[in-house]
Amino acid sequence: MDKIREYFRKHEDVCINFLKTRPIMATLNFKNKHIEKVRKPEQEKNKLLVFSWTEWKYRNIDIRTIKSLYPLSQVLQNIE
């Protein structure tokens, strides 16, 4: 899980592709005036708490369901 957290720290906004469900755009940076207005749930044991821009809510993600990650900047072709 530490590698995934580090990936989020480096890129901030990340697209998460899952094994069986649709991808989401998410962040671990909850210090945003819009995100702070959304009720934040408790982080579940052995899960990664992210804010989904796609669904406009927090999600506890089982990292075993993640197929791949890539930065939003790549989607926007704004590669650093």
> Per the domain annotation, does 80 fall within a domain?
no
- CB-facing half-sphere around the CA of 18: CA atoms within 13 A: 11
Q: What is the CATH number of the domain that holds 22?
A: 2.30.30
Number of domains comprising the chain: 1
> Per the domain annotation, does 9 fall within a domain?
yes
pLDDT for 63: 95
> Per the domain annotation, does 61 fall within a domain?
yes
**Full-model pTM:** 0.87
Comparing C-alpha atoms, which of 34, 59, 55 is closest to residue 47? 59
> Per the domain annotation, does 56 fall within a domain?
yes
pLDDT in tens, the chain (80 residues): 899 999 999 998 999 999 999 999 999 999 999 999 999 999 999 999 999 999 999 999 999 999 999 998 777 775 55
Comparing C-alpha atoms, which of 57, 9, 60 is closest to residue 34? 57
Range of the domain at 13: 2-75
pLDDT for 71: 92
Rounded CA-CA distance 57/35 in Å is 8
